[in-house]
Amino acid sequence: MENQNQTPHKRRVRYKGKYPKKFEEKYKELQPEKYKDTIEHVIQKGNTPAGMHISIMVKEILDFLNIQPGETGFDATLGYGGHTKAMLQCLNGKGHIYATDVDPEESAKTKKRLAEQGFGEELLTVKLQNFCTIDEIAKEVGGFDFILADLGVSSMQIDNPKRGFSFKTDGPLDLRLNQETGISAAQRLDTISREELAGMLCENSDEPYCEELAKAITDEIRRGNHIDTTTKLRQVIEKTLDFLPEKEKKETIKKTCQRTFQALRIDVNHEFEVLYEFMEKLPDALRPGGRVAILTFHSGEDKLVKKALKAGYKEGIYSDYAKDVIRPSAKECTQNPRARSTKMRWAIKAE
Ligand SMILES: C[S@@+](CC[C@H](N)C(=O)[O-])C[C@H]1O[C@@H](n2cnc3c(N)ncnc32)[C@H](O)[C@@H]1O
């Protein structure tokens, strides 16, 4: 028989703290030390835990660089420090790595994390500098035995809505690697001409709808509607491509968003200019017999790297270089979908 005296079920008061509103509070993964199991589970499912970056082609890079204790290296793109840590481990406590990154927020966190793991200033020097200043650091330390550049952006940058790198989450249309300098993508769009924007979309990411998009975006701005959030830009792209047949619309819009955001990112960070400068200075930064590995993520970057290494080989600067790209294994691409577009190239400085 039912208990008549049973007190009526009372709704539990909603615990505010359990439902964080902010990105920083949202994921357990953002506190990796506290939630190790969650992190492993997320990685196993083929995702990148929030606030982390899974390093790509680590084995291939280490196999090629063949780092020996006592050597001096340069990591052009510190990021989360995964590659740096793997290279530091090869040094076995002897030698030094200099690392650059232009992102003040993430590089400070990485420096602290690596120091806590035993890689302090006696082994690792982190510089908040553009990698195109490689010549200054090389001069200071007498050249490098090994160099790594893992171009582009880290997962922490992509996943943080405040940085504006992703069309999937709403945020300011910023796209700067260093938000303390330069102008945001929104500011760039405010003054750009239709012709220049079409050229940027075409040159930086081979955008097939560059003309249509440049017209739609500049018309929108001319009407007084600033495109200052990731959502607003995505909506203009969606509207512009609304004429597409239903069956291909969704996928094409997604790819167009990716290409448009990439083109703007390359532009506001002057990515081709600094990569060109880096490739020009690279030969003098390497010691005789020194090795360099470079990971690229789109055809513009890869072409530039390939051309520079080939030219250096022909001039006798490099004794050997990668005639073909090396790609991550199918297994790595399944475990880390962000590896899918990666291409690795390498070169060895002549003795
Ligand atoms: C793909 S992530 C590197 C990830 C890193 N290898 C790891 O294992 O965690 C690229 C990093 O390079 C930085 N970066 C991009 N362009 C740069 C430049 N010109 N100079 C210095 N750092 C740059 C970005 O801020 C980002 O942190």
- Show the domains of the chain with their CATH numbers: 58-155+272-349 (3.40.50.150), 178-268 (1.10.150)
Residues tagged in the binding site annotation for S-adenosyl-L-methionine: 81-83, 101, 131, 150, 157
Ligand 1 centroid to Cα of residue 86, in Å, is: 16
For atom 23 of ligand 1, the residue with the nearest CA is 101
Residue-level pLDDT at 2? 44
Which regions of 120-252 does DSSP assign to beta strands (E)? 124-127, 144-150
Tell me the C-alpha distance between 115 and 121, whole Å: 8
Ligand 1 atom with minimal separation from the 106 CA = 27
Q: H or E stretch including 157?
A: helix 155-159
Structure tokens at 322: 């990668």
* Known binding positions: 81-83, 101, 131, 150, 157
Specify the pLDDT at position 51.
Answer: 76
Q: What is the distance in A from the centroid of ligand 1 to the CA of 154?
A: 6
Mutate which of 57, 74, 101 for ligand 1 pocket (most atoms within 8 A of beta carbon): 101
Q: Where would I find the beta strands (DSSP E) of the chain? A: 72-75, 96-100, 124-127, 144-150, 286-296, 318-321, 343-349
What is the pLDDT, as a whole number, of residue 339? 96
What single letter denotes the amino acid at residue 57? M
Measured N-to-C along each axis, helices 230-240 and 210-222 cross at an angle, to the nearest 10 degrees, of 120
Structure tokens at 145: 């035995």
Residue 347 makes CB contacts below 8 A (sequence gap 6+) with: 291, 292, 309, 312, 313, 318, 320, 321, 322
Distance from chain centroid for Cα 265: 11
CB atoms within 10 A of CB 231: 15
User: What's the token pair of residue 120?
Assistant: 């302090």
pLDDT for res 18? 41
- β-strands 72-75, 144-150 pairing: parallel
Nearest CA to ligand 1 atom 8: 82
Please state the atom number of ligand 1 nearest to the C-alpha of residue 131. 20
Residue 9, pLDDT score: 63
Q: Which residues of 272-289 are buried (b: 16+ CB within 10 A; e: fewer)?
A: eebbbbbbebbbebbbee
Say if CB 344 and CB 65 are below 8 A apart: no
Both tokens of 91, joined, read 């040094």
Atom of ligand 1 nearest to the CA of 85: 8
The pLDDT of residue 243? 96
Q: Which residues line ligand 1 (CB under 6 A)?
A: 53, 55, 77, 79-83, 100-103, 106, 130-131, 150, 152-154, 177, 274
pLDDT value for 38 = 65
What's the order of all strands across the beta sheet hosting 124-127? 124-127, 96-100, 72-75, 144-150, 286-296, 343-349, 318-321
Listed in order, strand segments (DSSP E) in 159-299 are 286-296
ipTM metric: 0.99
Quote the Cα angle for 104-169-15, to 5°.
Answer: 95
pTM score, two decimals?
A: 0.88
Q: Which ligand 1 atom sits nearest the alpha carbon of residue 78?
A: 5
Q: Report the separation in Å between the CA atom of 75 and the middle of ligand 1, taken as the mean of its atom positions.
A: 9
Closest CA to 88 of 112, 60, 120: 120
The DSSP string of 123-147 is TEEEE-S-GGGHHHHHHHHT-EEEE
Ligand 1 centre distance from Cα of residue 12 (Å): 46
Q: Are 36 and 28 in contact (CB under 8 A)?
A: no
In tens digits, the chain (351 residues) has pLDDT values of 444 555 566 565 543 444 444 545 555 556 565 556 666 666 666 667 777 889 999 999 999 999 999 999 999 999 999 999 999 999 999 999 999 999 999 999 999 999 999 999 999 999 999 999 999 999 999 999 999 999 999 999 999 999 999 999 999 999 999 999 999 999 999 999 999 999 999 999 999 999 999 999 999 999 999 999 999 999 999 999 999 999 999 999 999 999 999 999 999 999 999 999 999 999 999 999 999 999 999 999 999 999 999 999 999 999 999 999 999 999 999 999 999 999 999 999 999
Compute how many other C-beta atoms are within 10 angstroms of the C-beta atom of residue 78.
28
Q: Residue with the nearest Cα to atom 4 of ligand 1?
A: 79
